[in-house]
Structure 1
Amino acid sequence: MGASSLRSLLLKTLSSSPPPSSHGFHSQTRSVAKVRLKWVKNRGLDHIIDTETDLKAACLLKDAIHRSSHGFLSSRFLSDKKKLLGLTVPVLRFLRRYPTLFHEFPHPQYSNLPCFKLTDTALLLHNQEQSIHDTHESDSVERLTRLLMMSQTRQIPFQALIPLKWDLGLPDNFIKDWIPKYPDRFRAVKRHDGLPCLSLARWDEELAVSQLQKNFEKGDPDDGVGSGSSHYRNFKKGRFLAFPMNFPRGYGAQKKVIAWMDEFQKLPYISPYEDSSEIEPLSDLMEKRVVGVLHEILSLTIHKKTKRNYLRHLREELNLPHKFTRIFTRYPGIFYLSLKCKTTSVVLKEGYRRAKLVEAHPLARIREKFYYVMRTGVMYRGKGLQELIYAKDNMGDDKGDGVDQDSEEDDEMEDEDSEEIATDFDSESDEE
């Protein structure tokens, strides 16, 4: 797709819709005014995508090496995993970039074959991460349960679920451990076409509450959801809930944008856990429902972001329209679409304030420590392991990297390469 074609796609306006139909308590007429919005680059969020791409790759490599029966993996096995790891450099070069995490040594039998194992530093961080997984397992189980509850069939193929493992904060072996441990929540089944899936064993009404409804309960005026004096269980179908908005500089003050968002926000809110089969596919209501589903999925992630292609592989399960990804550029006050690292990532803007997570999950904090070791560990190589690991704990509030999230510049989207779904690669050792 050429740059001009992609630009036309991003500037696509609202289309007309069929005659109105009903969904019990509302009309589904498309009446929202047309607005043309240009994609705007956000340097702060792009910087986050850039740094966390390397962080995620390092964590996946760490898990793969730890799973290996030999405790190490050879460069021969890892050399073709560049795309699966989302790297823009060869895997061997990436591993050598972080010697405080990955120790290189010659293969015991083939001296010319480089191998890599985890350093004591990486093992200590891994153990800390596992402790967090154990402590917060119930929270992780609930996140996975909610994702399955949003699926129309209450099941998701493993091949679509595994790539989301890191984003959702699921432990490395969650499939093997959780299915037998939580038989009242999860089951392994095969779809009608034979595709292996994780299925929801039992609906949990207590979990069928979206993050937007929880914000309604809190009554945070910054969230734009009203006084919130009533409990979210008192929220009635057909009532509107407003999504928090943070427009790129210059958009929020435009009268036409204000009018458009005012109409959109006043549409009835459809929970992502409700049945949407009776909603007219091309209606304004369905569009707001799609925004709600995407908002909820990103709210479930640890870093309030994921790759666009990961969401595409959930399209059928979540009853999303074929071209649902246009939503991300149609609502720049809610989502940000980043093209960093030769891929397309989607960020929930309300999850960040000045390029920092508003609410950092414990896993996000240990990952921040992991990245700190990646970035500065070389300076501590001769000063002792504990000083290296806990230096981050003794730091004050991180002032960031000098990148202001609110600093933006206009920049039209360029072409992006096609991206293959990154499945979790098998870490069984290839040693002979």
Structure 2
Amino acid sequence: MKLLFLIADGMGGWPIKELGNKTTMEAAFTPNMDMLANKGIVGRCRTVPSNMPPGSDIANMSLLGFDPTKYHTGRGPIEAAAQGLKLDPDDLVWRMNLVNLSELSSDGIMHDYSSGHISTDKSVPLIELLQKELGNDEFTFYPGIQYRHLLVHKGGAKKLESKLAIRPPHDLTDKSIADDIEEFAKSPLMDKLLRDAAKVLKDNGTKVVSIWPWGQGNPLILPDFREKYSMKGAVISAVDLIKGLGRASGLEVIDIEGATGLVDTNYAGKVDATLKFLEHGDFAFVHLEGPDESGHMGSIKDKIASIERFDAQIIGPLMEKYPLGTASYLVTCDHFTPIETKTHDAAPVPFILVSDKCDGSGLKSFSEKNAKSTGLILEKGHELMQWVLNLTN
């Protein structure tokens, strides 16, 4: 029987006054998830260990069945794995955003972690320019997708820079960057690179003002997924983070033309790719970034829309091809991205597991509150995969 993990990144949240104290999940029209909740096991899972920050890197590593306290080294190394970069063990890999700041100083404010969700065709030339002007034997700039890029510091894993505690820019929207500027200043090397990059990027015709390196670590090494779980699997996602986790663990990585990571992503393309893979594969990890991006932007309207489209355009079509009894489904999010905070939260995430071997909960809808009401909680997120397999095989 096929197993599908359907992940709506950042879908969870808190009650919102403008929605009559409903969450965006509760406000969204989700007949497919509601039906699955009625027929399946509903509970919560702690995808982020208590001593780690609530990032998508950590949470999705857990959902794929790998303990982040053992394998996680940083966000940058995961995205480097997605690109297949050849790295030495002591290289330091940074995730590098192109950001919009009021100014690159302790008085600066983070206006936008994505520079207006800059398109890839506009961002790549900027990374190429940075490489031309500032790339050397120590630093290499690698282009990625949209605002998400990489910076590799040769041999940096053994140096001071590996210890810098730079906050993710999506945690800083409309907030001061003073603490991070102070942190960058601990490394004359990084401080100079930041300021030199700002000069290179001046008046570039986009909203980009600065680079923002963060999430650094040495290269990622994961166990082989097929050997560990005896399934031939694939990841289907728009973002390098998921692709990197997939590639590092030997899962097939499927690229989807028109997959943007936003509300207007290519839903049909993701479904078609999933169905084609399942003709010969066993496990599909289908990831939708839209709810998370909407949460970071503080857009109630977009977050509801992305949840509804996840239900109607991902879950619905997949269930038409693989109705209950022919496949098992795990539906969840990796973490909460509440509208109020515009950043990630480590609260246990709601999930549904539906299989012909599972009894139904009888719940009328799928929500954070209903998932909590069942009393079922898995405290170690990386054990969810094996828990699911034990109940479905």
TM-score (norm 1): 0.29
State TM-score, norm by structure 2. Answer: 0.30
Greater relative contact order (Cα < 8 A, sep 6+): 2
Question: Where is the strand percentage greater, Structure 1 or Structure 2?
Answer: 2
